[in-house]
Structure 1
C-alpha cells in the first residue's frame, strides 16, 4: 500500500507543481514602507511544508497573494525540519505555520484553512 501511494505521489507531484506555477496569484502591491513593515513581521513566521502537498500548495498560493516573505521549511526532505516539527510542534503533519511571539514563545498552527485565516486576518487588513 505504501508503494502505491509513493508511485501515485511520484506521478501526481509534478502535475501539482506545474499547476501551482501556472496558477500563481498576483501579489498585493503595497507602498514600499508598508511592505518593509510586513516583511519584518514575517521574520517571526515559518511554514513547514512538503512541496507537492495540495494543502501546502493552497497555503503557498495565499502567501503569494498576500505578498508575504515567509520562510518555507521542507519537512519532507530535510530531517532537521521534520524533527523540529515533530519535537516542537507535536506532529509531523503539514502544512504547519510556526509563529514566534514577542515573548519568545512559539505557536504551531496546523490546518491549511486555519493558517490562511490567520494570515488574512493579520496581513490582508494592512492593504
Structure 2
C-alpha cells in the first residue's frame, strides 16, 4: 500500500533525524516548521510544487514521487515500480542488517504465496 504524502514526509524527516525547525532552517525558511507540521499531519494535502521540490532537495529524495503523492502527476503503474534495492524503503537510511532482514521477510512472504497461503491472514 502506497503511503500518503503526509506519512511519507514524516517518515523521511524522522529517518533523517531532523526536527521541524531544522527543516525550516535548512530550507532557508522556504518551508516553515508550522507548514511542514500541517503537511505531515495531512491538514495540507497538496502543497505547491516549489515546496515539494525544496523538500525533495533537502531530504535527497525523488521529486517526481512527491508530485505523484500530492496528485499532481499520475502514479506509476504497479508493474513499473523501482526494483533492485528494497524499493519501499529506498529513501530511508537502512543498515545492511536491516536491508537484509527486509529481504529475508520478503522471501518469506513470497514463499507463502507459492504454498497457496497468499491472502490468508
Q: Hey, which of these two has a bigger chunk of strand by percent? A: 1
Q: Per the shorter chain, which TM-score range?
A: under 0.3
**Which protein is bigger by CA-based radius of gyration?**
2
TM-score normalised by the chain length of structure 2: 0.24
